[in-house]
Structure 1
Amino acid sequence: MALWLPLLSLLGLLPGAVSAPPRRSPDAQAWEPVTPELLRPARFALETYNRGRVAGARAVLGAVSGRVRRAGGGSLYSLKATVEEPPCSDPMVCRLPVSKKTLLCTFEVLDELGKHRLLRGDCGPVDAKITDDKNEISSSFFPLLNKDPLPQNFSMEMVSLFKHFITTYNRTYDSEEEAQWRMSIFMNNMVRAQEIQALDRGTAQYGVTKFSDLTEEEFRTFYLNPLLKEGPGKTMRLAKPIDDPAPPEWDWRNKGAVTKVKNQGMCGSCWAFSVTGNVEGQWFLKQGDLLSLSEQGGLETEDDYSYHGHLQTCSFTAEKVKVYINDSVELSKDEQKLAAWLAKKGPISIAINAFGMQFYRRGISRPLRLLCSPWFIDHAVLLVGYGNRSDVPFWAIKNSWGTDWGEEGYYYLHRGSRACGVNVMASSAVVD
């Protein structure tokens, strides 16, 4: 589906931006009951979890469920497992003597050519259990960090980093318990960012961002839209290819066709920002006037109908419409042809897999294809240019999370490798 098709079909009758639609898992596979294939990565994750423990102090694997994504010669296992911790009576380890404790763990294990690697492991106290017959958690859990010992890798350096994060992004929390919970999330996220960094094949740097105190689930719910590729839409005609070869580099920001970076807020409206950015560029190229269009009020300007990013009654006024659209086109999935079209025709509306973007700071991102599959599209953005940095080819991408994210609001993704599905949903409005 073209990202801007809802705009074309409504032509100014776009309702107020709403929060993200009910979330469905981006994974195509359902959660599977335990099988030998799932047990192998689960046992590997447990071995890693138990590393350094003496006999008698090692945790034991309980119920397991999970799913697997496959790409090329590798598999990515997303697992949920109960882990039985042995009784604790050592005062140097536990605060009070406790009996056997059940933890709920989520693991992500990458299997490349038979070699396993633990990408993520999070465990917390749980009263519920995983039921094999339903393959799901029977009730939710919440780690009460004020009651349980802090993780062993807890350090004053991490505390200092978290305090700096709070100051930098002006965070406040309702209680000490929530602050501890957010600090735990922050610590786990720093580990995840390091893992993403180690696996990236580009020049990107990952680390602390304004999203570092959010769980992956929260981040996806608030800032992404996993249903982008599944929405209804009409079939578009293919754009006429550009005969001229693509210039070595191009940037519409330097040519006056791109408005300032905007902020969608905690709303899954990224598609609207991708759409309006594309229309802004098309209008500029045809009419010579760069207008900042409203993502919330159809084809009105931001001045006439500013974006608020929450559910509200539409206040669209037809008399205030400033631009129009004549048609729509689907673009080639060939990156060279995309570059040629962009240089000739203007910024392009695209959608990508947002893997790693929660912790992206700068540089050219190039995640492993298995981790950033084109089949799991969940974020809409605007392609504004391309080029090379130290012989590393990139796409310059305008995001909608404000200028305090990434490189002043921009994301740079490797060009030429179809990274993160950058080429699978490229489209544009047409202004005659």
Structure 2
Amino acid sequence: MSHQEAGLSMMRRSSAGSHDHLPWAALLALSASGFLAIFTETIPAGLLPELASGLGISESAAGQMVTTYAMGSVVAAIPLVAITRTVSRRKVLLMAVGALGAFNLVTAVAPWFPAILAARFAAGTAAALVWGVLTGYTRGLVPANLQGRALAVTGLGQPIALAGGVPLGSFAASVMAWQWVFVTISIIAAGLVAWIVAVVPDVPGTALRRRTPLMQVVRLPGVRVVLGVTACWILAHNMLYTYAAPLLGQTELRLDVGLAVFGVTSMAGISLVGVVIDRALRLTTLTCIATMGVATAGWLAPQSGVAITVVLVTAWGLSFGGAPVLLQTALADRAGVHTDAAQSVFVTVFNLAVAGGGFVGGLILSAAGPVGIATSSAGLCVVAVMAVSIARWAFPPGRRHDGDSPVGTAECSAHCD
């Protein structure tokens, strides 16, 4: 056993305490880091009128603050994670969270709009580093039999931020100037830095001898399948989420109510996934994707009443809430000691699928209307279900265990030297 493996083993024993105990304080701090990254991304959407008025620009131009943030994540995920792979995980996370705080402060005080966009792009690169380190860090804090459940706890920050970011931004704009909203986020980031220092144990980075070329990591058995399923599932969801207004416009359910139902049920979904993920990763993944596909197909009947529409949105939220956790767990199991490198590709694919939901979905909406969105999303779910069903090596059945990864300790030299 190498020095790094011994350190990881000791860290897991000391932080987890027992085989059935989660280090809640540490995991919630990691979850808050994910919340901060998503909340920073979505908050401008709740401030569009105030941003447009205060900066003397159109609301569509103000919306580019979200776009540039996402592009920063896409561009930076792979190189930043590669550069920081040998650095301790806590140090990397502290740098990323600190950078989010700093660039939010720059956004608040920048004197002109191009500087604000540059700060938003830089903040997006910091967010990419948060997501790039979070999965491997979480798994390094707990024994193998609790890794899926731990990721579910860490992942709670994402649906909370997605559900609450826009309405909270709108509320904040009613009680303070938009600049103070970003100052407040910076203060929260500083508090989170202190929280991480106080309660999150450190985990070492990847040993230099294990720095494997990224394409070799992507070619590990099952990794490309998981990334392909990620692209299909996230694209299917984001077409629905981005164009929820025209979809719900066909029904009697108000948009704000529908999105609130989705937000609440997605949080319930990730909680349910956390209960079963370590016992049945494959079955849970199949069930969730298939359920979302069936719910999506329900949009093909546009005259559904409120009750049926609520059921469809509930099924959508429950089935998608745990998607990132399921996908990240499957990917980390396949990548083994190369989890952070694989996660950097995951972040890139995920963000491209998010952007694709708006772009591709817009083309489909223009050509075929809301029914085209529903049909395409359901079709992508079918493709994802088929991939998971066929590729048993990517989503193995049964319980997760220490030997899940094809790049475990005994086999590392074959892939890493």
Fold agreement, TM-score > 0.5: no
TM-score computed with the length of structure 2 as normaliser: 0.23
Q: Over alpha carbons, which structure has the higher Rg?
A: 1
TM-score computed with the length of structure 1 as normaliser: 0.22
